Structures are given as structure tokens and as C-alpha cells.
Amino acid sequence: MPFSKIFSGDLPELTFYVIKYLRNDLKSLYSCILVNRFLCRMTIPILWEKPFALKCLNGKRFDFLEVYFSFFSELDRNQLIKFGVKFKRISTPLFIYPSFIKSLDTYRMELHAINWANNLDADITSSPSTIKVEPDDITFLDIGKEVEIGYNDIRLKKFVDMICSLLLKSFIINNASLKDFNLKITTSHGLFLPKFFQLIFNNTTFVSNVEKFSIGFIANPNVSKFSQLESLLTSLPSSLPFVKHFHISYLSRSKVLKNETKSRTHILSLKISLDACNFYNNHLTSIEFNRCNFHNVYSFDGLNDFTQLRSLCFINCKQIKPQFFQPLLDTPTSLKLKSLKLHGPPTGFDLLFKKVGSYLEHLELFIIGSSGGVYESIIINCDQIKFLCLANLYHDDNSQLYGMITRNNERLKYLTISSFMSMKMNSKLLHGLGSVLPKSLKYLDLDIVTDQKSLSSFLVDYRHVGLKTFLFRNRKNEGIDITFNILKNFVIDNEIRNFSYHINKYFNSDSIIHRNLLQFVKEMPPFVKMQRYHDLVVRISDFNYD
């Protein structure tokens, strides 16, 4: 049958949905490019939607920046040549790659520019750079860290700023249309951005379709830059008409933000990092308070009006008092939260669980200090939990932990346990954990320090039924090969499809332990898909209620 006949009718549209389903599987996408022209034309735009999301690791220089450089004007390329950059002769590109970008994080763009500069043959600095690149890691085992940024050379800083400026200019000129835009400015990074504010937000093609917008300062900005940011926030209603998710941080002086979020009824999620105030609208489905101070907030009675609210998050917040949640108990209306994340002191949250516990499906706890009755309240009121993440465990009474698991026995599908207790206490935790894990569990993530004997005992006690994904983060530096071998046998015997093993040691080819580890890896059957920990981990933010 002729090629044109095969790809007529609904097949192209169906193929497009298949390709979109593979958007996070780079290997499969690269394979699709090589099949035929049709799949190549369909796959390339998806591959180039968020190139800066790739991790920057030593020895893994990404050439996609040089592809972008081929779209620079001769004048712009000459600016890089002045720094000693030598360009290869590149044939005319088959696609307009800058036009495909959909997700842009300016900090990660700078990270990749630094990584590219660090691997240049040319010496662009007048003194040795303090850019830090950690050793490479094994294909899927997390044994290394991403590039860290540091500057001690003004010429290097100017070079990186120039690359980022030219990239941003190229995206705009080539009519890119963003969906996700993250602006980040610190005392040393993103300082090239303010001069582009007017160009960015006056270009309707570039930002008019943005649905997720983040902007933040990591340090207090100087007066002139803050003034530019105030002007930017004032122009948001006309520049970002379709924004649904708004994240702003470290702008406690901004009055513009209060008016902005109150008037934008189509904003669904709001993340704020400033002194907490009641200025958001009741159309929100998600609110995140990050490092907020509730000193002047006397109650959360306003939450009664958020009839659409499904996700609530508190991270490192201050001055939350028990009486804040009392109005929720006094009203007959229900706050039907599906997702709750608490990182910090749990004061008063036992009252919140009493009100919303019967609706909660996703729960993440990182409790600092005493649990304050929170665990007991969860056991009594929460019986619909599908995703449970318990981090920063420091107590030796495991009955409450087991109680939260068994209370949601037939519904629990995702379980993450991160314990920073001693090896003796963790061994005690594992001793009873295997027997209480439910048959419904599909995903298990253990971040723990333990000995091989306790781990083996736990795996024997755990009567595996339907587990599909298993992650193990080993914080013990000794015997990492033996631990992996124990886990390997469990994964193979129970036909677990997705597996990740994270260790805190850099790969050393001279180490017998690391050579053993590689040998055990080679013994894994093909049905087990090994992945990096951070690529496989499931987070509470993955469950959206837009």
C-alpha cells in the first residue's frame, strides 16, 4: 500500500497522540525520528519543547545550543567570536528549532550556557573559573550531581549573560510561543532579564499563551530592578491573558500582586512566598504558602469561600496557631481538599484533618518537632488516601506509622518513607513494615539507612502482589553493591517493572564495590526498566486538579 494511503484518514492524528504520550521518553522519541519523514516531522517539535530540562553533567556536553546559534544573525554570532568561540560550519537546518520551545526556565538556560562554556576549547576567562561540575554517573544510578554555578571572573559572567540574552532574542524573533515561563533573578544570576522585560511582554506571540508563570528573586533586589518588576506585574493582565498557575516569591513589598491575583478569576493555582495576606480569589483550585509569616493572620475563615479548592500546601511557614483552623469546624460547609502538603511545625493541623480528612486522597508530611496529635488525627479521620509521603521520621514509635498505612489498606497505591533516624531505629521500622504494606500498593519509595539483614527480612515479610515501581535511596556508604544485589533478587523474583537505586557515592572505576555494582546491573533481565531516581519518583504535585 502506498505511503500516502497509510497515513491518510485518522492515522496521523492518532500517531500524534502516541508521540505525545512518549514526550518524557527521550530514547523512544529519538528512535521515532529515524523511522520516516512523517514521524520525524511529528517528533522533532516535541523533542525541542523543553531542551533546558536536560541535566547538565560533566562529560555530557549538549550540542543543542550550537543548533540554536545557527539561527543567530551574523552580528550576534560575531559577539561570541570576540570571546574566542569558533563555530563549526553548519548546513541549513531542516527545522526552525527556536520556534518549538514551550517551556523556558531562565535559570536552567543559564545553567546550560555555563556548562557549554565550561567545555569550550577557547579560554574565555582571564582567571580560572569556579564553575563546579560534579563527576559523571552511571547510566541510570544517581551517583553524581548536576552542575553547580559559581563565578569569580567578570568576563565569564558577561559571556554567559550574552549567550542567554541572544538565546532569548532568538526565541522571540522566531515566533516561539511559551506555555511555561519561569523568570528567576538573584544577586548573580538572571541579571540580563530586566532589560528584556519590555521586549518579552510586548511580544504577544511569545507570552500570550503562557499558562504557568513563575517569577522570583532569591535575594532582595535593588531599588531600580524592583521598580522594573513592579511595572512588569502591572502589565500582566494584558500580557498573560491565559495564565492559570501563578508563582511569585520574595516580593513582600508588592501591592501590585494583591490587586493582580484578586482580579484574575481564571487563575487556578497560586504559590506565594511573602507575608501572607487574604488577597486571592475564590476560584483557585490550589494554594501553596512557601515561607509565609502568618503573624497578622488571626484565622483561616476565608478558606470557607474556596469552594473549588482541592490542593493546599504549607512549606516552612511561621506563626500558624491552632485557632486558625477553628472557623472550619464551626461552619457546616465542607472544604473538599484532595491534596495536602505540610512541611514544618504541625501546630493546629489536627483540627484541619478533622474537617477535611474524609476527602483527602494525597498527603505529604515533613513534620518538624513533635507531631502534635497530627498522626492520631490522620488515623481517625483519613481513610481515602491513595498517595502517602512520610518524610523526616525521627521517632521510635512505629505504631502510628503502621496505623496510617493500615487505615487506608485497600486504597493506598503510592507510599514514600524517608527516615533520618539511626540505623538501629530504621531496622526496627523495617521489621514490622513489610507485614502491613497493602496488596493495593503499586509504588514504593524507601529513603533510609539500614543494614542488609534488616532489609532482607523486610523483603521476605513483604508479600508482594501488585508492586510495579520500586525506588530505594541508600544513605549508607558501605556495602552498596551487596544492598543492590539483595534488591535485585527481590525485583527479579517479583517481576517489578520499574526500579531505581540511588546512592551518595561518585562512581570510581578503581573501586571493587563499584565494579561489583556494574556487574550486578548487567545481570538485570530486560523486563526490568532501570531509571534515575529523580526521573521515576512520584510527587504530590503530580496530582493536579485543574
**For the segment 218-254, what is each residue's pLDDT rounded down to a tens digit?**
655 454 555 566 666 666 666 778 888 888 775 444 4
Q: Write down the pLDDT at residue 531.
A: 83
| Interval 124-160: pLDDT, tens | 554 333 333 333 334 445 444 555 555 556 777 888 8
How far CA 232 is from CA of 166, 238, 240, in Å, comes to 21, 11, 11
79 neighbors 135 (Cβ within 8 angstroms): no
* Residue 61 in domain: no
Mean pLDDT calculated for residue range 469-479: 85
**pLDDT for residue 493 is more than 80:** yes
Which residue, of 362, 393, 418, is where some domain finishes?
362
Percent of the chain, pLDDT > 90? 19
The reply to whether 378 falls in a domain is: no
4 pLDDT higher than 60: no
Q: For position 136, what pLDDT does the model report?
A: 35
pLDDT value at 33 more than 80: yes
Q: Dihedral angle at the C-alpha atoms of 453, 457, 458, 461, nearest 10 degrees?
A: 180
Range of the structural domain that residue 321 is part of: 270-362
**Among 256, 257, 239, CA closest to 247:** 257
d(CA 151, CA 132): 10
pTM value surpassing 0.75: no
In a domain, 125, yes or no: no
Indicate whether 318 belongs to any domain.
yes
**Contact predicate 327/354, CB 8 Å:** no
Specify the higher pLDDT residue, 334 or 366: 366
Q: How many domains, in total, are found in the chain?
A: 2
Asked whether residue 3 is domain-assigned, the answer is: yes
* Residue 117 DSSP code: H
Of the given ranges (197-206, 263-272, 298-307, 510-519), which has the lowest mean pLDDT? Answer: 263-272
Q: Does the residue 24 lie in any domain?
A: yes
Q: Pick the last residue of a domain from 302, 337, 362.
A: 362
Beta bridge partners of 469: 443, 498
Selection from 434, 418, 328, 430 nearest residue 381 by Cα: 328
**Nearest CA among 273, 282, 268, 283 for reference residue 343:** 273
Is 350 within a domain? yes
Lookup result for grid cell 553524581: 144
Q: How confident is the model at residue 86 (pLDDT cuts 50, 70, 90)?
A: confident
Rounded mean pLDDT, 44-62: 78
**Of all residues in the chain, what percent are helix, strand and coil, respectively (each to 5)?**
40, 15, 45
Chain segment 343-399, per-residue pLDDT in tens: 988 888 888 898 888 999 999 999 887 777 888 999 999 999 999 999 887 666 688
Q: Write the pLDDT tens digit of every residue in 124-133.
A: 554 333 333 3
